[in-house]
Structures are given as structure tokens and as C-alpha cells.
């Protein structure tokens, strides 16, 4: 059913390419997996035309959501959800130029868009531009990018006044549960960004990260899963143990970074 829908999309002249990404493209989908579809356009197809199209294939649709990217969120007649994301390929390539070629690190999730492009499966490519973009960015992991991600995100874990470990403990001292949750999430964003960079792996996104790391990353801090589970189990119940958990996680991260040639003095 999804492919019949995509065939209809490909008939519109403004649609230059279509790709499927996420677990449906990688072969790791389960019964809860949706379709992540990326439609690269020269101009946006009007919402009323898209709605008419969805009425043939979907039991429910929301068009023009802008909470993340510009997308339509649908449920196919067979009950499977799909996110139809609309992009301009030039905009994506400009972003990846800054990250992959100019080696600009971000606070967590640095290489997610790179991962999304190079692992996506092309379904339709009118001009060949999507294939060319995939080829352009299908390169070995740049060492300067690797170093920049690790340097920036290690400092955010610990060792600086605004580091997340300090912010978590400050939030705990205030009893600010929302801030505890928020700062811990940011701590983990930087933590996993470091791990994927250390292993020269593009970041796959926010789901199933522990399992992916255990399967695909040879370099992991000691007691990787156990330490994360300990932190999360104590987060709202035992502030002293949270402090210990954070110290252990940072110490083991610094240890493996040091073993692999990274200076961790500034983030201890």
C-alpha cells in the first residue's frame, strides 16, 4: 500500500526524489515500526492535493504538520503509520556540508541527518540528484569531525560550569523534577553523540540506542548498559546515588577516551 501511494507521489512534476529511511530501510523494523518517507521536492505540493491522495490510501491523515520538519502524518488503510517528510535536497546538502565537510559539531545528534541520507533507500529519483548526494556524502568518517564532536560533547558532560552533570544535581537540590528530566535527556544526547563519534559511526537517532551501541560499537565505556540503567533507576529517588552514577559514567567515558588518544584532562 505504501508503494502505491509513493508511485502516485512520483507522478507529480515537483517531486524530484523519494527515499525510505529508518528501520523500514535498514531491515530492523518490528511490528511497531512506521514508515519514514522523505519526499524531495522543488516546490511543495498543495495540501488539498495531498489530502485527496491520502483519502484513497489512508484511514487517517494530518497534513502540513511543522512540529519537527514539514510533514504529513498518516495511518495507512492497513493500520501502519507513516511520516511523509518534505524536504529540499539543496537545504539538506547545505546542512551536511557544514557538518560532514566543515566538521561542525553540535550538542548531541550531530550526525543524524548524515545517517539519514546515507542509509536511506532510494525509491524514486527523477533527476539522479539524490543518488549524487548520497554518493557525495558517502565518505569515511572525518577525523576532525570526530575530534570536534568528542571535545564539545565531553565538556558538556562534565568539567565546565554549565555541564549537564552539575545542572542535574542543581535541579535535584531544588526538587525540580521537570528540569531533572530535561537535563538528563541532554546529558544522554551528548553521551551517545560521543560514543557514535568515537566508533566512527553516524548517529542513528533517538530509538533503541543501547541495543544499537551494544551491537555496532566496539568501543564502549565499562559497564555501559548497567551504569545507564542505574542512573535512570535512581533519578527521582536517591540524589546521592545519582551523583555517584554520574561520576561513574563520566569516569568510564573519560577512561575509554583516554585509551583511544583523547585528552580528557579538561573534562574530568
End-to-end CA distance of the chain: 53
Task: Read off the pLDDT of residues 98-139 as tens digits, 9 standing for 90 and up.
Answer: 999 999 999 999 999 999 999 999 999 999 999 999 999 999
Q: Which of 265, 267, 231 is nearest to 248 (CA)?
A: 231
CA dist 41 to 4, 50, 130, Å?
Answer: 19, 13, 11
CATH topology of domain 143-267: 1.20.120
Per-residue pLDDT band for 170 (boundaries 50, 70, 90) equals: very high
Instruction: Report pLDDT digits (tens) over 45-77.
Output: 999 999 999 999 999 999 999 998 999 999 999
Where in the chain do CATH 3.30.460.10 domains reside? 2-137
* 174: CB partners within 8 A, 6+ apart: none
pTM of the model: 0.91
Helices (H), the chain: 2-10, 23-26, 47-57, 89-96, 112-119, 129-137, 143-157, 164-174, 177-198, 209-216, 224-234, 239-259
CATH architecture type of domain 2-137? 2-Layer Sandwich (3.30)
For residues 140 and 31, which has the higher predicted lDDT (pLDDT)?
Answer: 140
196-225 pLDDT, tens per residue? Answer: 999 999 999 988 999 999 999 999 999 999
HEC secondary structure over 76-93:
ECCCCEEEEEEECHHHHH
pLDDT of residue 22: 74
Instruction: Catalogue the long-range contacts made by 20-24 (C-beta closer than 8 Å, 24 or more residues apart).
Output: 20/120, 20/121, 20/123, 21/116, 21/119, 21/120, 21/121, 22/205
What is the three-class DSSP state of 61? strand
Phi, psi for residue 143 in degrees, rounded to 5: -65, -35
Q: What pLDDT is recorded for position 31? A: 67
d(CA 159, CA 266): 7
CATH 1.20.120 positions along the chain are 143-267
Task: Output the average pLDDT for the chain.
Answer: 93
Contact 120, 25 (CB under 8 A): yes
Secondary structure class of 194 (helix, strand, coil): helix
Amino acid at each position: 500500500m505504501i508503494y502505491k501511494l509513493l508511485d502516485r507521489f512520483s507522478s507529480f512534476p515537483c517531486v524530484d526524489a523519494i527515499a525510505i529511511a529508518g528501520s523500514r530501510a535498514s531491515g530492523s523494523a518490528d511490528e511497531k515500526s512506521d514508515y519514514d518517507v522523505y519526499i524531495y521536492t522543488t516546490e511543495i505540493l498543495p495540501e488539498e492535493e495531498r489530502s485527496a491522495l491520502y483519502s484513497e490510501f489512508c484511514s487517517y491523515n494530518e497534513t502540513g504538520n511543522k512540529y519537527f520538519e514539514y510533514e504529513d502524518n498518516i495511518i495507512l488503510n492497513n493500520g501502519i503509520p507513516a511520516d511523509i517528510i518534505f524536504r529540499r535536497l539543496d537545504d539538506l546538502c547545505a546542512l551536511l556540508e557544514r557538518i560532514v565537510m566543515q566538521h561542525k559539531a553540535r550538542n548531541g545528534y550531530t550526525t543524524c541527518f548524515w545517517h539519514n541520507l546515507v542509509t536511506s533507500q532510494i525509491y524514486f529519483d527523477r533527476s539522479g540528484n539524490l543518488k549524487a548526494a548520497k554518493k557525495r556524502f558517502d565518505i569515511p568518517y572525518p577525523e576532525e569531525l570526530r575530534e570536534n564532536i568528542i571535545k564539545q560533547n565531553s565538556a558538556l558532560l562534565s568539567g565546565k560550569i554549565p555541564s549537564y552533570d552539575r545542572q542535574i544535581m542543581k535541579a535535584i537540590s531544588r526538587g525540580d523534577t521537570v528540569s531533572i528530566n530535561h537535563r538528563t535527556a541532554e546529558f544522554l544526547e551528548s553521551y551517545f553523540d560521543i560514543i557514535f563519534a568515537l566508533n566512527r559511526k553516524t548517529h542513528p537517532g533517538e530509538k533503541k540506542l543501547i541495543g544499537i551501541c551494544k551491537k555496532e560499537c566496539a568501543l564502549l565505556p565499562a559497564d555501559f548498559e548497567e551504569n545507564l540503567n542505574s542512573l535512570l533507576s535512581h533519578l527521582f529517588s536517591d540524589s546521592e546515588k545519582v551523583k555517584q552514577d554520574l561520576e561513574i559514567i563520566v569516569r568510564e567515558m573519560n577512561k575509554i577516551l583516554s585509551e583511544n588518544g583523547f585528552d580528557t584532562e579538561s573534562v574530568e
